[in-house]
């Protein structure tokens, strides 16, 4: 198997598993009529993604080869998904348990997929490999997002989770076969290495401002992600309509936004991208307010999801470029994992309370307040740039 095909496979696995404890789980629960407060709290099951670095330190100390750690993570994914398929939709504590284990196993899997992918692509110096990973990642998200939501109109969710479990096992076995023999002596990471990369971020300057930007810049998006499915379902849109507009069309627009954002950043600074793309994306959040007044309208659904995905992807390009620019050569991989973990807190801890807001106010008020939460991040970007 070529390097490009391997990275395509690794990307597919990561993208597929990401939504199983995220947006797809959110849709399944929202479709069942769960209240918004409980739905918001369920975002906490993805907390392991925010703890990726400490999890890596702990797992790295296990006296096993990397390939076996990854394969056992695939076994854990398979088992947790199978157990989730047998859990009644009303048993929230058990659902939360299995969803958390799915996220934990997926994070461990990502740690070693990323480790081998970075080593391999660095050795090969292949741009095609990086492109293969991004393509596979998007295809994996499309499969576990739009694919499962579409299929839910024909099959029961229990059946779909069982199919997903078997697919994870199959992919895990396939990835295991691509890992090379590990001959060198295993040297686990030491705890002393935990703080040094953190203190070196951004050359040690403005660390608190940097952390605040990472948390706040995508906060409005992360709050919206919890509520989009129940909001669109409450307007009468079907699972097939949401899957097409949000997942298929939205993914296509996200790919286009990534291309546009990348091209513009070739002739502009990252700071310019953060402010400009962030502001444009913030404005598109107002389309959700428009839809609360219009109600069920399929063309507007496509407009809302398309504009959100297009501008959100442009903002994400500058966001990732900003995070990458903070990492120095010596600690680059570790620092990126650490900053990604900080980003994860914005996606899990803070959004867990948004259901309480939506439950006690109107959709218009909720989306207005969420839009306003995007302003502090932009102000910090302007301040740091100045």
DSSP track, 82-134: HHHHTS-TT-HHHHHHHHHHHHHHHHHHHHHHHHHHHHHHHHHT-HHHHHHHH
pLDDT digits (tens, 9 = 90+) for 367-384: 999 999 999 999 998 888
361 shares its domain with 256: yes
CB 63 within 8 A of CB 172: no
CA-wise closest residue to 45 among 127, 6, 102: 102
Q: Is the pLDDT of residue 304 over 50?
A: yes
pLDDT digits (tens, 9 = 90+) for 148-177: 988 998 999 999 999 999 999 998 888 888
Handedness of CA 61, 63, 65, 71 (dihedral sign): negative
Which of 123, 158, 182 represents a domain boundary (last residue)? Answer: 182
Which of 182, 207, 227 represents a domain boundary (last residue)? Answer: 182
In the block, residue with structure tokens 């953190």: 198
Q: What is the pLDDT of residue 265?
A: 84
CA distances from 277 to 68, 132, 209, 313 (A): 42, 26, 20, 9
Which of 132, 150, 182 represents a domain boundary (last residue)? Answer: 182
274 shares its domain with 142: no
CATH of residue 167's domain is: 1.20.1250.20
The model carries a pTM of 0.78
CA-wise closest residue to 195 among 49, 335, 320: 335
162 shares its domain with 194: no
CB 28 within 8 A of CB 42: no
127 shares its domain with 13: yes
Min mean pLDDT across 41-55, 78-92, 230-244, 303-317 is at 41-55
176 shares its domain with 198: no
DSSP, res 145: I
CB-based burial, 313-351: b 16+ in 10 Å, e otherwise? bbbbbbbbbbbeebbeeebeebbbbbbbbbbbbbbbbbb
Task: Count the helices and strands in the chain (H runs, E runs).
Answer: 21, 0
205 shares its domain with 236: yes
25 shares its domain with 59: yes
| pLDDT-above-70 percentage for the chain | 84
Q: Token pair for residue 72?
A: 């056992």
Neighbour count for residue 375 (Cβ, 10 Å): 14
Residue 164, classified by CB atoms within 10 Å of its CB into exposed (0-12), middle (13-18) or buried (19+), is buried
Q: What is the pLDDT of residue 128?
A: 46
Q: What is the pLDDT of residue 198?
A: 65
CB 325 within 8 A of CB 381: no
pLDDT digits (tens, 9 = 90+) for 178-202: 766 654 455 555 444 556 666 666 5
203 shares its domain with 173: no
**CB-facing half-sphere around the CA of 143: CA atoms within 13 A:** 19
Q: How many angstroms separate the CA atoms of 34 and 344, rounded?
A: 24
Q: How confident is the model at residue 341 (pLDDT cuts 50, 70, 90)?
A: confident
More confident residue, 128 or 302: 302
Q: How confident is the model at residue 363 (pLDDT cuts 50, 70, 90)?
A: very high
Q: Which domain holds residue 66?
A: 1-182
pLDDT digits (tens, 9 = 90+) for 232-258: 999 999 999 998 998 789 888 988 888
42 shares its domain with 169: yes
Q: How many angstroms separate the CA atoms of 187 and 207, rounded?
A: 30
pLDDT digits (tens, 9 = 90+) for 58-111: 887 788 888 888 889 999 999 999 999 999 999 999 999 999 999 999 999 888
Q: Is the pLDDT of residue 117 over 60?
A: yes
Q: What is the pLDDT of residue 73?
A: 92
Task: Quote the mean pLDDT of the chain.
Answer: 83
CB 203 within 8 A of CB 108: no
Q: What is the pLDDT of residue 336?
A: 63
Long-range contacts of 186-191 (CB under 8 A, 24+ apart): 186/63, 186/65, 188/60, 188/61, 189/56, 189/57, 189/60, 189/61, 191/57
176 shares its domain with 232: no
Q: State how many domains the chain has.
A: 2
361 shares its domain with 343: yes
In the block, residue with structure tokens 């994996």: 140
Q: Token pair for residue 133?
A: 């990973």
Q: How many angstroms separate the CA atoms of 217 and 316, rounded?
A: 10
161 shares its domain with 280: no
What is the largest distance, in Å, between two alpha-carbon atoms of the chain? 63
Q: What is the pLDDT of residue 269?
A: 87
Q: How many angstroms separate the CA atoms of 24 and 18, rounded?
A: 9
The size of the chain, in residues, is 386
pLDDT digits (tens, 9 = 90+) for 265-293: 888 888 899 999 999 999 999 999 999 99
CB 272 within 8 A of CB 382: no
More confident residue, 289 or 129: 289
């Amino acid at each position: 198997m070529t390097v490009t095909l391997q990275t395509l496979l690794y990307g597919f696995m990561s993208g597929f598993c990401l939504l199983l404890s995220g947006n797809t789980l959110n849709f399944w629960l929202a479709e069942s009529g769960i209240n918004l407060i409980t739905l918001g709290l369920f975002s906490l099951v993805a907390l392991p993604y925010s703890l990726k670095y400490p999890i890596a330190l702990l797992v790295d100390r296990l006296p096993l080869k990397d390939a076996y750690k990854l394969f056992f993570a695939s076994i854990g994914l398979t088992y947790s998904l199978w157990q989730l398929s047998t859990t009644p939709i009303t048993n929230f504590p058990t659902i939360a348990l299995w969803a958390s284990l799915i996220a934990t196993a997926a994070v461990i899997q990502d740690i070693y997929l990323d480790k081998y992918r970075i080593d391999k692509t660095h050795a090969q110096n292949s741009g095609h490999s990086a492109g293969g990973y991004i393509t596979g990642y998007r295809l994996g998200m499309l499969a576990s997002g739009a694919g499962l939501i579409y299929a839910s109109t024909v099959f029961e969710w229990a059946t779909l989770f069982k199919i997903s479990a078997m697919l994870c096992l199959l992919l895990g076995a396939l990835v295991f076969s691509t890992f090379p023999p590990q001959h060198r002596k295993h040297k686990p990471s030491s705890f002393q290495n935990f703080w040094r990369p953190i203190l070196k971020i951004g050359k040690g300057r403005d660390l608190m401002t940097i952390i605040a930007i990472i948390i706040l810049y995508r906060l409005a998006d992360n709050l919206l992600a919890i509520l989009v499915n129940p909001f669109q379902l409450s307007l009468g849109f079907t699972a097939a309509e949401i899957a097409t507009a949000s997942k298929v069309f939205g993914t296509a627009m996200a790919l286009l936004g990534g291309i546009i954002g990348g091209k513009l950043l070739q002739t502009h600074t990252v700071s310019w991208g953060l402010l400009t793309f962030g502001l444009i994306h913030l404005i598109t959040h107002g389309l959700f307010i428009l839809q609360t007044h219009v109600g069920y309208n399929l063309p507007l659904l496509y407009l809302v999801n398309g504009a959100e995905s297009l501008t959100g992807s442009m903002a994400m390009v500058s966001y990732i470029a900003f995070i990458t620019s903070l990492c120095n050569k010596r600690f680059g991989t570790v620092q990126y994992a650490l900053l990604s973990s900080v980003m994860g807190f914005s996606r899990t801890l803070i959004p867990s309370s948004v259901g309480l807001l939506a439950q006690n106010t109107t959709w218009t008020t909720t989306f207005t307040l969420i839009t306003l939460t995007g302003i502090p991040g932009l102000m910090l970007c302007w301040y740091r740039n100045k």
